[in-house]
């Protein structure tokens, strides 16, 4: 996992924040989920394929996944952090969610195998007719302002020339993308997600950011360390690290508006190259997971980032 993924996952280990995120993004701000309704889940996605040649296994990790009690039912709610627009995101989310359903299926089959309680078609299926799985819901948090990629599977399908019936039969798979930089619900958050979303929305506009800081001064002046770390990583603002260090040392609070002036003047350039490298590493990782060859990935990197072949090859090292 890259730095932003790790920081996002660490930040959302706080159940109050995760409940706040779900309530605002899934329940229009209503307090439907409480912190005690959230339970940790193993983030590993296991894929097992059995062929004549043997058993093939693959292990990959979700950014964040929780089992959430929504009333009397449970749902698996996952969060994927995106620093760049992944134009294959519907396929990627579909694959992740399918892996989680497969894990539930394997678990249920093992339970029935031990009980030996199935007959007929149920025995052949490995599950009972009335067995049901927890729904898997993925929220894509895009830390940018405009997602111009596909938001459902059909956006990726070449089906325009097909009959309406075949288009219907092709099916669809919508994904839920939240543009943090444009999220209209930021003020509904009750935790410091309000400050995290807000800072990310205004980081590129000095005047708006100053107004936001003035309005949210109390919350910003008491931000926890992990919130500082996340905002700093997302917005590439090194000045926030300096503010955090001063607070930790017990020094007098630095004026946030002055810090923002300094931050926007010179700190952003320091983080751009690091952000670019993180983005390229994530792209390489995602493409390799999708089975795309190194040769094709290198050509894409050369075109997207205007780098030479030798530089592109370095991102496969290690």
Supply the pLDDT for residue 66.
96
Tokens of 312: 């592109």
Tokens of 112: 């029935």
Supply the pLDDT for residue 270.
47
Q: What is the pLDDT of residues 262-287, one digit of tens each?
A: 555 544 454 455 567 777 887 888 78
How many Å apart are CA 182 and CA 148, to the nearest integer?
Answer: 13
Tokens of 271: 């983080």
Q: What is the DSSP string of the chain?
A: --HHHHHHHHHTTSHHHHHHHHHHHHHTT-----GGGEEE---EEEEEEEETTEEEEEEEE-SEEEEEEETTEEEEEEEEEESS--TTHHHHHHHHHHHHHHHHHHHHHHHHHHHT---HHHHHHSS-TT-----EEEEEEE-SS---S-SBGGGG---TTS-HHHHHHT---B-EEEEGGG-TTGGG-SSTHHHHHHHHHHTT-HHHHHHHHHHTHHHHHT--HHHHHHHHHHHT-THHHHHHHHHHTTPPPPPHHHHHHHIIIIIHHHHHHHHHHHHHHHHHHHHHHTT--HHHHHHHHHHHHT--HHHHHHTT--
Supply the pLDDT for residue 256.
55
Q: Among residues of the chain, what percentage have pLDDT more than 70?
A: 81
Supply the pLDDT for residue 267.
41
Q: In terms of residues, how long is the chain?
A: 318
Closest Cα partner for 139 from 96, 105, 186, 107? 96
pLDDT band at 220 (very low <50, low <70, confident <90, very high): confident
Q: What is the pLDDT of residues 116-150, one digit of tens each?
A: 999 999 999 999 999 999 999 999 999 888 999 99
Q: What is the pLDDT of residues 222-242, one digit of tens each?
A: 788 888 888 888 887 666 666
Higher pLDDT, 72 or 21: 21
pLDDT at 246 over 70: no
311: left (phi over 0), alpha (psi -120 to 50) or beta: alpha
pLDDT at 245 over 80: no
Supply the pLDDT for residue 266.
46
pLDDT band at 194 (very low <50, low <70, confident <90, very high): very high
Contact between 248 and 224 (Cβ < 8 Å):
no
How many Å apart are CA 239 and CA 128, to the nearest integer?
Answer: 58
pLDDT band at 165 (very low <50, low <70, confident <90, very high): very high
Calculate mean pLDDT across residues 157-171.
93
Supply the pLDDT for residue 247.
58
How many Å apart are CA 194 and CA 216, to the nearest integer?
Answer: 9
Per the DSSP assignment, residues forming a β-bridge with 136 are 76
Supply the pLDDT for residue 57.
65
Range with top average pLDDT, 39-43, 193-197, 228-232: 193-197
- Average pLDDT across the chain, whole number: 85
Helices 225-235 and 239-248: crossing angle in degrees, nearest 10, is 170
């Amino acid at each position: 996992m890259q730095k932003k993924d790790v920081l996002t996952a660490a930040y959302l280990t706080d159940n109050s924040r995760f409940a706040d995120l779900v309530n605002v993004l899934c329940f229009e701000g209503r307090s439907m989920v409480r912190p005690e309704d959230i339970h940790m889940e193993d983030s590993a996605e296991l894929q097992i394929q059995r062929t004549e040649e043997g058993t093939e296994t693959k292990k990959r990790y979700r950014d964040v996944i929780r089992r959430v009690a929504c009333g009397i039912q449970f749902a698996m709610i996952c969060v994927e952090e995106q620093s760049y627009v992944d134009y294959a995101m519907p396929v990627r989310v579909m694959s992740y969610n399918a892996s989680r359903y497969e894990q539930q299926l394997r678990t249920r089959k093992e339970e029935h195998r031990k009980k030996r309680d199935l007959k007929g078609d149920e025995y052949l299926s490995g599950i009972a007719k009335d067995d049901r799985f927890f729904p898997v819901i993925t929220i894509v948090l895009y830390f940018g302002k405009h997602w111009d990629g596909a938001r459902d599977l059909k956006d990726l399908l070449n089906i325009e020339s097909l009959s309406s019936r075949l288009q219907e039969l092709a099916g669809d798979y919508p994904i839920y993308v939240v543009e943090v930089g444009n999220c209209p619900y930021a003020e509904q958050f009750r935790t410091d997600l309000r400050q995290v979303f807000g800072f990310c929305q205004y980081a590129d506009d000095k005047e708006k950011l100053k107004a936001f800081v003035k309005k949210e001064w109390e919350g910003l002046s008491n931000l926890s360390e992990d919130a500082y770390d996340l905002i700093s990583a997302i917005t590439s603002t090194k000045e926030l690290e300096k503010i955090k260090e001063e607070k930790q040392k017990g020094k007098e609070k630095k004026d946030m508006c002055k810090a923002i002036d300094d931050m926007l003047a010179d700190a952003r350039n320091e983080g751009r190259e690091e952000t670019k490298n993180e983005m390229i590493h994530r792209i390489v990782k995602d493409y390799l997971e999708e089975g795309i060859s190194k040769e094709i990935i290198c050509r894409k990197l050369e075109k997207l980032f205007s780098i030479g072949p030798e530089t592109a090859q370095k991102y496969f090292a290690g």
